[in-house]
Structure 1
Amino acid sequence: MTGRGERTPQMSVKEFEEIAVAAPETVTLEFIGGRLEVKKGADGDRGTVLCRLRRHCLQVAPELDLYQGRGLRVEERREGRARPDAVLAPRGHFVGHGQWAEPAGVLMVVEVTANDSDTDRLDRHEKPTAYGQSGIPVYLLIDRDSCTVTVHSGPDRQVGGYRDLHVAKFGEKVCLPGPVGFELDTEILGNYVR
């Protein structure tokens, strides 16, 4: 640990990026809180949730795209590297960006919980901190373990995380605040819980 309760990073960002570039396409790597993370691939149910969300976004906001697998520079000093399950941004936003893009202009990131032991630590604690520090306006967590959707908004760049949380059970309609600004019906999500 360092003086402010932070962990000593396992490696530098440069070392992580070299490893990530060399990793096979079947492996997704992230660098959150100074730690190398191996992200579990999407199972069929998780992938279907993302497809349904993408289709909904295209219907209600055709000027936006929901990108899957997009790498972002996150955390306070942009020393983290995350690959959210999905990133909502204006259509064409990432043209000309490399493998890891700055979060400026991103409207929302989405994570869908996987059935693994790291879900609690990563999706519910470390990623909201990293995304909030990055200034990403909305973090949507589709939590298949608790059958809830959590909308994080009002990013807190200094402390990390978000000032506003709204939790809804699958089946409820959820308002995604600005700059997203549309409603999401979560009724169908209960079909993708294992």
Structure 2
Amino acid sequence: MTPRTEHRPPQMSVEEFEELERHAPESVWLEFVRGKVKVKPVPDGNHSEIYMWLLERCMSLRPDLRLHPERGLKTETYRKGRARADAVLVPKGGLVGHGEWSDAETVLMAVEITSRDSDTNQRDRVEKPDGYAAAGIPVYLLIDRDDCSVVVFDEPEGGRYRHAEKLPFGAPVHLPAPVHITLDTAPLEDLAD
């Protein structure tokens, strides 16, 4: 597969975006995806509960790993993007020495939990998979509250994930190498709202 190309020039440079993001109010989270500034909504209560559910599962099944919330990542080809993942799974100590925007080399899995906003389809289902794949992140886990499903993307190659598996809330979900975790997603059925 060939990566999608964006023919429009970026709104600003990465350096200009990082300066803008440093001065944004705490109530606003900014990302720089495909050359455009995006506003990421602040999580609601169910979003936070889903994160905690996943954190507990990861800690009990893989105590050698850490699930960090709201992590800034350098994404897309040649790290020209800046995405704030809802969570990243890394080996214990994997973010030591990293600044606000981490290179993705230690990231085993990026996680997004859909929000109740009009941009979630484009951001979480289209742009984020391409950006995370281009950064070489082995697994992207999308917990889709709108669709009551979990999508596991893996096998990044050429700026795209070659494989994706979509399963309904309630089904067991296997997170492939290098994560090697199987999730019982039944608790998500009560958190979809």
* Paired AA for residue 164 in structure 1: H
Q: What is the distance in 2 between the residues matched to 1:193 and 1:137? A: 26
Q: C-alpha displacement at 1:182, in angstroms?
A: 1.1
- Matched with 2:132 is 131
Superposed counterparts of 1:1-194, under 5 Å: 5-156=6-157, 158=158, 160-194=159-193
Unaligned runs of 5+ residues in structure 2 are: none
Structure 1 residue runs of 4 or more that deviate by more than 2 Å after TM superposition: 4-7
TM-score by length of 1: 0.95
Q: C-alpha displacement at 1:6, in angstroms?
A: 2.5
Is the CA contact (8 Å cut-off) linking 1:87 and 1:106 kept in structure 2? yes
Q: C-alpha displacement at 1:91, in angstroms?
A: 1.2
Say what the alpha-carbon RMSD is for the aligned residues: 0.9
* Paired AA for residue 35 in structure 1: K
Q: What is the distance in 2 between the residues matched to 1:27 and 1:161? A: 29
Q: C-alpha displacement at 1:23, in angstroms?
A: 1.2
Identity of aligned residues (%): 49
Q: C-alpha displacement at 1:59, in angstroms?
A: 0.2
Is the CA contact (8 Å cut-off) linking 1:7 and 1:33 kept in structure 2? no
Is the CA contact (8 Å cut-off) linking 2:65 and 2:89 kept in structure 1? yes
Is the CA contact (8 Å cut-off) linking 2:6 and 2:34 kept in structure 1? no
Q: What is the distance in 1 between the residues matched to 2:181 and 2:83? A: 25
TM-score by length of 2: 0.96
- If asked which structure has higher relative contact order (CA below 8 Å, sep 6+), I would say 2
- Work out the number of aligned pairs and report it: 189
Q: What is the distance in 2 between the residues matched to 1:132 and 1:110? A: 13
Q: C-alpha displacement at 1:5, in angstroms?
A: 4.3
* CA deviation map 1:8-57 (0-9, x unaligned): 11111000000111112221110000010110011000000001100110
Shift in CA distance, 79/5, structure 1 to aligned 2, threshold 3 Å = closer
